[in-house]
Amino acid sequence: MIVCLSTSALFSQSLMGQDAEVQELEHDTQQGTYNSLVQVDSDTYLLAYQGLDGDGFIKTFTISADGATVTQVQSLTHDNINGTYNSLVQVDSDTYLLAYTGQDNDGYLKTFTVAADGSTITQVAVLEHDTDLGQYNSLAKVDSDTYVLAYAGSSNDGYIKTFTVPADGSTITQVAVLEHDTNSAIYNSLVQVDSDTYVLGYRDAWNDGQLKTFTIPADGSTITQVATYEYDTYNSTYGSLVKIDSDTYAVTWYGYKPAAYSGYSWGSYVKTFTIPADGSSITAVAVLKYDSGGYNYYPSWVDMGDGRLALAYARAGYQGYIRTFYIPPDGSSVIDMHTLYHNSSG
């Protein structure tokens, strides 16, 4: 069973064999965009999203093990001006770190404590880390107190920053910054390769799809770009990365001209890559065009184990889809398994 989102609805989804929707909760009847969802414990989940009037919301939900019930527990309006481009990660068992775009489209980080049963949500610390622009956020955990953020800053330039956050979330301290693209870096998706290596997928100023690797030590003191690869030489929109195993990764995007692909046409693709632990190279392995329709809006991966992956996305008109794939550990093929059309209104 997985949990997924379609605008302001929260779903529990069975993906064993043929796909089937289990339960749905419309938790916000006004607006529900820029969603980021993490698991708190075995049956509790935390959601950051933009709601009514563009405000930033944090909500908790309980979902039974069989997915039969989805219940909202608590809600906090943490920003009454703006709350877009949310990226949420767990700090420890009851502390969470949120990167988002706040007032004047500036870049913010906030910490929250959340009870294991979701009964309370308390804002703890806040840092406005970019006073010019902070959009297209993607946040990853380096170690127990260090975090790395990829985002679009001034003029949509591409930035990587590191921060330290103690287990109780009492402080947020910026450590290092690297402007890795001086033209543009949007649709950021950041994934950890190993303890000190990270891979970033994004769209550049020419709309091409780029992958880059970076080395970052455990204390976040330095950020060093290592390797680059252009995976679509014409267009990459709504990209999302996922780790398959220790040296294999996949990216999905809406594009036109995947590098080293025999035929060029608009559509949604999955492409696999191998990246060694030191990030020294990025090598394309296989590619699949899985949808010739409209954009794959807001894609989000879930690794179900044993090479099975679920992809939640929206097509033209924002209809909700769940698609499952099989990708072997070496990334040598991408097999499109099942598709579920679960929401006609988005």
Q: Which residues contact 101 (CB under 8 A, 6 or more apart)?
A: 82, 83, 84, 85, 107, 108, 134, 135, 137
**Which pLDDT does position 218 carry in this prediction?**
97
Tokens of 81: 């001006």
d(CA 33, CA 1): 23
| Residue 76: inside a domain | yes
Give the pLDDT score at 295: 82
Domain region containing 116:
24-184
Q: Is residue 243 part of a domain?
A: no
pTM value? 0.94
Any domain includes 104: yes
Q: Residue 180 maps to which CATH number?
A: 2.130.10.10
Q: In what order do the strands lie in the sheet with 2-6?
A: 2-6, 9-14, 20-26
Answer whether residue 168 is part of any domain.
Answer: yes
Under the banding of pLDDT at 50, 70 and 90, the label for residue 16 is very low
238 contacts 189 by C-beta, under 8 angstroms: no
pLDDT digits (tens, 9 = 90+) for 313-328: 988 766 888 999 999 9
Provide the domain count of the chain.
1
CA distance 125 to 114: 13
182: left (phi over 0), alpha (psi -120 to 50) or beta: alpha
Quote the radius of gyration of the chain (alpha carbons, Å): 19
pLDDT at res. 277: 98
